[in-house]
Structure 1
């Protein structure tokens, strides 16, 4: 990757747009980036890194921090980078996320981060994530690798030089992506811890099951069980002990079951005898109760017989009531007929009254309609008298409108005429200027041509050489060649002057044609204007002595004002007349409706009058018939007649119901009395055959047997529970024993792997798997670094990775020593002086850069930046460092040194100088 052009705007200390063109530095060699402290030297690389990856180069810089504090709020923060990679050119633009002024209203708004990459074929990639992925695909490296390869940053390579194993491990993890080995280490460590926890949990479960083993105090196994509870017995012996105990408990369980069964048989026999004796005692009590119930049944039967005899006497009254019911039911038909006639009379009377009211209402409606009809006829006659001629008003309004259109057309043509005149004058002026320039160029050409012809001898003399023949005379000696004046034109200058004269002449001809064209347009537009002016004069009767200016500036505005006023008046009159005509039409239609309504109401009045007359006659006949029926019927209403019928029926039903109920009670008491008598006789018969029993002795025997049974059942339950607990413990312990064997095998294997990968083997160097892989990279880096360090130190120093750990307690494998070939010693790199440390760290950083490029698939960047550190070098060391960097830049690589060391300005010709502006911000300029 080689930067071609970098454009920075409102970025870091660069307040305004700064354009940095790297092409003057060529394709290889060294160039210096110098300037005051804080001017923005490192910002150049920050901008390149931000353009490519959306992040500055430093670890402590965020994109949002790159907004320039010196920039005007309206200037956007963005970076444009044009770069070349593998012979192809790419364009990339980015801006960070920052607060900017709102485009509408006050306040600020958040400017979102944006990115845009243009590939050589013209395809554009947008969105930050897509652009980042595309750049990484193009370069083959990510931002961290780019920062290590292309930018040897200020102080970073010194950190790498003096870092211990753990610090170098973190640095190499980020650069060479060895975190996958670290993840494997953590996975093994985590798996080892998980297996340890599983073993602990399994041991806890085994302990719980062992402590759950139940054993009686007087058991022969009690001592061994106590040892097991204290976890003093091996698991295999505990399982064997449980197996023996469970067999013994099972035998005891069977004996207890046999004993309980024998006691239960004896208890069943005693309970059966006791139940029989208790049943005969209950029989005596039942006879006493039944005797009392029999006496009460006799009394109830006597009372029921007396009540039945009294109810039997109401049979005659029931028959009389039944006859009255039949007579009253026949009369109900006459009552119903009278009610219907009364209802019909009432309905007919209501209809007659309603018809009379409707007749009165229709007469009133007729009077209202007559009044409304007269009012409509009066209003219509008045409106017809004042309606004017709408067509005449419309025609007058249209004539005024046409006159206004003529005025508009004349004013439009006058504006076109003014515009055309202006363009004609401009075209003529342009032509005159071009013609003057053409004449001047032609005169200059003729002057140069004249001078050129006059100086041909002197020009020819300049080409003559001794012993070479003259192209004119052929002589090989030239004793007196002609001289030429210093300002004599050359052939190229003469041809250039001729070309200028020709172009200016062509321009003059072109502008002449344009001026003629505008003159022709002006004539046509003027004719059109004059024609329209005469049309307006005729239409508006404008006197012929009125000038054009008077007409346009005075007459036409007055005419326009008057015409608009007339049009408004005509439109108002037309609107009013049309409204009146519409009202007349509405009144005519309304008059027709009122006439139709009058005809309809008069017909209705005649119809209702006939109905009133007919209904009056029918009512007289109906009233006479109702009065006759009133004289024949006793009750005034059918409701009263029905109430009387209900009263008679209720009395008859009550008497009948009382008789039936008395008969039922008599029969029920007789049946109950017979039942009690039979039950009492049966109980006496059973009691006469009963033997004699000793209830107290039987009860005592049953109590003793139940107590024995309870005692043995409780013991049996304890034995069952003990056996169940111990059998569960036996099953679980056998299962857990198998699981423990499998888990121990896994734990041993994983622990060994974890200790090996994490460098925790006892008595061994603490080298982790990731560190071991990084040692391979570190050896390659050291090898590459030594090729340059030996040159910079005159063969004195050589870097070497420490192969023996200082102790076996801390991590090792990435410590760095330096071999001093002058005295044959080896010591820590931390003992080097400031200048020696810079050389070693520079060599190490360059070696790291080479290794990263190699490990990234042979990626080669065509540009590199080295930031500061040269101030600690003496003259010879500085010369050696520059020599190394110069060799690094050979071929197709450009190396930029970021430094404020003044000696470098005299050693490096190509420079990018950064200066601070007094008004704020920085400015970059290139010196070659």
Structure 2
């Protein structure tokens, strides 16, 4: 990547637009960026870094800080970079996020960050993320690597020189992306911690299972169980203990089940006898209770019999009332029939009145339709007179249109004639000009020919030679040969003049032919125009003027206006008449519809009239029927008849209910009396056949057996629960024992791995896996750095990586020493002087840059910058450093030195001079 042109606007200390053109520096060599402190020398590289990656070069600078404090509020902050990469030109534009004045109203708004990359083919890539990815794919490096390769800052590479292992680890991790090894170390640490936590959880679970082992104090295993709970036994011994406790519990369970079975058999016998004894006592109690119930039921039955005899005296009255109810019920149907007929009569009468009203309405509707029909017929007769008017207007319209078309054709022919006349006049003028030019050329040719012939003696004299005879006079001496005029034409000039005159004569002939053609065409069009004009004059009122322009400018516009008006007027009147004529069809349809409606309505009126007459007769007949029913009924109203019927029904129900209740009570007491007598007889029979038992002795024996059985069952439940608990503990302990063995194996394996990867092996150097990988890179960097350091120090100093750790307690492997070949000693790089440190730092930084480019697939940047640090060098060291950088710039690479040292200004011709203005802001200019 080689920058070609950098444009900065309102960026850093550059308030206005500043353009830096790198092309005058060529494709290789050193150039100097100089200026006052704070003028913005490093900002040049910041701008390049920001344009490419959206980030400035320094770690302490954010993109949002790059807005110039000197810039006008309306000036936008942006960086434009044109650069070359692998022979192709790219353009990129970026602006950071910053606050700017609002375009509408007061206040400010946030201008969001934007980026645009224009590819060599013209394709445009937008959006920050897409542009960043495209730049990284194009260059093959990210921002951090670019900052290390393309920018060597004094503070940064001095920091790298004196850093310890842990600091260098962080630096190399960022540059060489070795964090994946660090992540592997962390992963192994986390894995070891997870396995350790799993072991703790497993041990805790095992402890819970051990404490859950259940053993009675009277057991022969109680003492060893206590030892297990106090963690005094091995896990396999505890598992064997649970097996022993389970066997002991099973033996006692079998014994207790046998005892419970034997007691249950004795208890079953006693329970049967006790139940029989209780049953005998219950029979006696039931017999006494049934005898009392029998006597009470007998007394109630006698009372019911007396009440039944009294109720039977009402049976004749019930039969009489029943007949009266039947008669009155039938009469109620007649009342209902009369009411139905009354309602039907009222409904029919109301319907008839509505039909009569509708009949009157229909008759009025018929009269209205007749009136409408008469009105429409009158309008129709008037509209039929319009047809003749439409025909007259159409004829007038067509006549005006024909005249207008004839006038338009005449006008078009006149315009054609006018154009042809103009073309003919131009062609004649062109011919005259061409002929004049040809005549002048012909005259010029004749004049040249005349001059040429006059100068033949001079031309011949030019060929004469001493002591050779003249081709004209034969003399060998030529004392006074003819002189050739300075402006004498040659034969070639004559020939060119002749050809030029011929071309112009041919052109004049062509122009003459074109003019003749146009004259003929003009005569044809004029004849056609006059014929059309003569024809129009015979029909229209046109003056007899002979000047065509007068006719076309005065008469024709008047005629066009006249016939256009006539056409528009006729068209408007025809449209109006046709609309009115369309009304005629509508009127015919309406009259047909009304006539049809009148005919239909007349039929409806006749039908309704017949129906009204028929229904009126039916109503008169129905009215007479209702009157006959009124005369045949005993009560004036149905409610009076129903009231009498309800009184009769009430008396009937009262008598019937009394008789029914007396019969039911008699039957109930009789049935209950029979039931009690049967029960007493059955109980007497059962008591006489039952054996005799001692109920108190049986109860005592039963309680004793139940207490013994309950004691054995409680013990059996306890032992069974104890066995299940110990079986669960046995199962879980065996499972956890296998799991713990597997976990211990895995934990030991992971412990070895994490100690090795993290450099924690006891008695070994504290070198982590990531550090080991970085040592490989560091050795390559040192090797590349020593090539330049040996040159800059005259072979005195050589960098070397310390292979032995200072101690085995802290991380090691990336410490740096320096070998002094003048005295054969090796010491820490921290002991170097300021100038020596700068040389070592510069060499190390250049070696790092070379290694980054090599490790990223041979990526090559065609431009790099070195920032400050030269002030600590003496004259010889400065010369050596510049020589190294000059060698670095060979092979199509530009190296920019950022410095304010005046000595460099005299050594380096190519310069970018940064000037800091007192009014605010900086400017840059290129010097070559």
TM-score with structure 1 length normalisation? 0.74
Partner of 2:117: 116
Partner of 1:301: 301
Partner of 1:760: 760
Q: Is 1:770 the counterpart of 2:770 in the alignment?
A: yes
Partner of 1:229: 229
Deviation at 1:220, TM superposition (A): 3.2
Q: Which moved more, 1:634-643 or 1:777-786?
A: 634-643
Q: Is 1:93 the counterpart of 2:92 in the alignment?
A: yes
Q: Is 1:44 the counterpart of 2:44 in the alignment?
A: yes
Partner of 1:79: 80
Partner of 2:265: 265
Partner of 1:139: 139
- What are the Cα deviations for residues 31-54 of structure 1, in whole angstroms up to 9, with x where unaligned? 111122233222222232233333
Deviation at 1:861, TM superposition (A): 2.1
C-alpha distance 284-924 of structure 1, shift in aligned 2 (>3 A) = same
Partner of 2:720: 720
Deviation at 1:578, TM superposition (A): 13
Q: State how far apart, in whole Å, the 1-side matches of 2:219 and 2:333 are.
A: 108
Partner of 1:798: 798
Q: Which moved more, 1:364-373 or 1:131-140?
A: 364-373
Q: How do 1:81-230 residues align onto structure 2 when only pairs under 5 Å count?
A: 81-85=82-86, 88-99=87-98, 105-106=104-105, 108=109, 110-119=111-120, 122-230=122-230
Deviation at 1:94, TM superposition (A): 2.9
Partner of 1:678: 678
Q: How do 1:234-633 residues align onto structure 2 when only pairs under 5 Å count?
A: 234-328=234-328, 331=331, 334-335=334-335, 338-351=338-351, 353-354=353-354, 619-633=619-633
Partner of 1:487: none
Assess if the C-alpha contact under 8 Å between 1:260 and 1:709 holds in 2. yes
- What are the Cα deviations for residues 355-374 of structure 1, in whole angstroms up to 9, with x where unaligned? 66668878999999999999
- What are the Cα deviations for residues 202-224 of structure 1, in whole angstroms up to 9, with x where unaligned? 11111112222222334333332
Q: Which moved more, 1:592-601 or 1:268-277?
A: 592-601
Which SS does the other structure have where 2:61 is aligned? coil
Q: State how far apart, in whole Å, the 1-side matches of 2:125 and 2:155 are.
A: 36
Deviation at 1:812, TM superposition (A): 0.8
Q: State how far apart, in whole Å, the 2-side matches of 1:712 and 1:603 are.
A: 112
Q: Which moved more, 1:152-161 or 1:107-116?
A: 107-116
Deviation at 1:626, TM superposition (A): 3.2
Deviation at 1:691, TM superposition (A): 3.4
Assess if the C-alpha contact under 8 Å between 1:15 and 1:72 holds in 2. no
Q: State how far apart, in whole Å, the 1-side matches of 2:637 and 2:619 are.
A: 21
Aligned residues: CA RMSD: 5.8
Which SS does the other structure have where 2:4 is aligned? strand
Q: State how far apart, in whole Å, the 2-side matches of 1:656 and 1:865 are.
A: 132
Assess if the C-alpha contact under 8 Å between 2:31 and 2:912 holds in 1. yes
Which SS does the other structure have where 1:890 is aligned? coil
Deviation at 1:676, TM superposition (A): 0.9
Partner of 1:12: 11
C-alpha distance 250-374 of structure 1, shift in aligned 2 (>3 A) = closer
C-alpha distance 711-29 of structure 1, shift in aligned 2 (>3 A) = same
C-alpha distance 30-215 of structure 1, shift in aligned 2 (>3 A) = same
Deviation at 1:831, TM superposition (A): 1.9
Which SS does the other structure have where 1:800 is aligned? strand
Q: How do 1:789-868 residues align onto structure 2 when only pairs under 5 Å count?
A: 789-868=789-868
Which SS does the other structure have where 1:895 is aligned? strand
Which SS does the other structure have where 1:314 is aligned? helix
Q: State how far apart, in whole Å, the 2-side matches of 1:35 and 1:357 are.
A: 117
Partner of 2:421: none
Partner of 1:780: 780
Partner of 1:35: 35
- What are the Cα deviations for residues 752-784 of structure 1, in whole angstroms up to 9, with x where unaligned? 111111111111111111111111111111121
Partner of 2:468: none
Q: State how far apart, in whole Å, the 2-side matches of 1:821 and 1:587 are.
A: 129
- What are the Cα deviations for residues 218-251 of structure 1, in whole angstroms up to 9, with x where unaligned? 4333332222211122222222333333333332
Gaps in structure 2 of 5+ consecutive residues: 381-388, 395-399, 401-571
Which SS does the other structure have where 1:191 is aligned? helix
Q: State how far apart, in whole Å, the 1-side matches of 2:865 and 2:575 are.
A: 89
Which SS does the other structure have where 1:688 is aligned? helix
Assess if the C-alpha contact under 8 Å between 2:33 and 2:897 holds in 1. yes
Q: State how far apart, in whole Å, the 1-side matches of 2:787 and 2:599 are.
A: 131
Q: State how far apart, in whole Å, the 1-side matches of 2:826 and 2:801 are.
A: 11
Q: State how far apart, in whole Å, the 1-side matches of 2:618 and 2:743 are.
A: 119
C-alpha distance 352-149 of structure 1, shift in aligned 2 (>3 A) = closer
Deviation at 1:894, TM superposition (A): 1.6
Deviation at 1:805, TM superposition (A): 1.4
TM-score with structure 2 length normalisation? 0.74
Which SS does the other structure have where 1:313 is aligned? helix
Q: State how far apart, in whole Å, the 1-side matches of 2:231 and 2:76 are.
A: 81
Which SS does the other structure have where 2:689 is aligned? coil
Deviation at 1:583, TM superposition (A): 13
C-alpha distance 578-65 of structure 1, shift in aligned 2 (>3 A) = farther
Assess if the C-alpha contact under 8 Å between 1:51 and 1:81 holds in 2. no
C-alpha distance 832-270 of structure 1, shift in aligned 2 (>3 A) = same
Q: State how far apart, in whole Å, the 2-side matches of 1:362 and 1:620 are.
A: 26
Assess if the C-alpha contact under 8 Å between 1:68 and 1:77 holds in 2. no
- What are the Cα deviations for residues 387-422 of structure 1, in whole angstroms up to 9, with x where unaligned? xx999999xxxx9xxxxxxxxxxxxxxxxxxxxxxx
Q: Which moved more, 1:236-245 or 1:323-332?
A: 323-332
Assess if the C-alpha contact under 8 Å between 1:32 and 1:899 holds in 2. yes
Deviation at 1:912, TM superposition (A): 1.6
Q: State how far apart, in whole Å, the 2-side matches of 1:352 and 1:84 are.
A: 109
Deviation at 1:790, TM superposition (A): 1.7
Gaps in structure 1 of 5+ consecutive residues: 381-388, 400-571
Assess if the C-alpha contact under 8 Å between 2:139 and 2:859 holds in 1. yes
Q: State how far apart, in whole Å, the 1-side matches of 2:200 and 2:879 are.
A: 67
C-alpha distance 341-702 of structure 1, shift in aligned 2 (>3 A) = closer
Which SS does the other structure have where 1:240 is aligned? helix
Deviation at 1:865, TM superposition (A): 1.2
Deviation at 1:655, TM superposition (A): 5.0
Q: State how far apart, in whole Å, the 1-side matches of 2:159 and 2:95 are.
A: 30
- What are the Cα deviations for residues 110-142 of structure 1, in whole angstroms up to 9, with x where unaligned? 44422324046x555444334333333333322
Q: State how far apart, in whole Å, the 1-side matches of 2:837 and 2:700 are.
A: 112
C-alpha distance 712-603 of structure 1, shift in aligned 2 (>3 A) = closer
C-alpha distance 664-790 of structure 1, shift in aligned 2 (>3 A) = same
Q: Which moved more, 1:901-910 or 1:577-586?
A: 577-586
Deviation at 1:729, TM superposition (A): 1.9
- What are the Cα deviations for residues 146-173 of structure 1, in whole angstroms up to 9, with x where unaligned? 2211211341101101111001001111
Assess if the C-alpha contact under 8 Å between 1:10 and 1:71 holds in 2. no
Q: State how far apart, in whole Å, the 2-side matches of 1:333 and 1:686 are.
A: 67
Deviation at 1:599, TM superposition (A): 11
Q: State how far apart, in whole Å, the 1-side matches of 2:136 and 2:354 are.
A: 103
Q: Which moved more, 1:342-351 or 1:50-59?
A: 342-351
Partner of 1:690: 690
C-alpha distance 634-91 of structure 1, shift in aligned 2 (>3 A) = same
Q: State how far apart, in whole Å, the 2-side matches of 1:610 and 1:227 are.
A: 124
Deviation at 1:917, TM superposition (A): 4.4
Assess if the C-alpha contact under 8 Å between 2:792 and 2:884 holds in 1. yes
Assess if the C-alpha contact under 8 Å between 1:250 and 1:723 holds in 2. yes
Partner of 2:524: none
Assess if the C-alpha contact under 8 Å between 1:74 and 1:100 holds in 2. no
Partner of 2:899: 899
- What are the Cα deviations for residues 681-730 of structure 1, in whole angstroms up to 9, with x where unaligned? 11112222333332222222222222222223222222222222222222
Partner of 2:54: 54
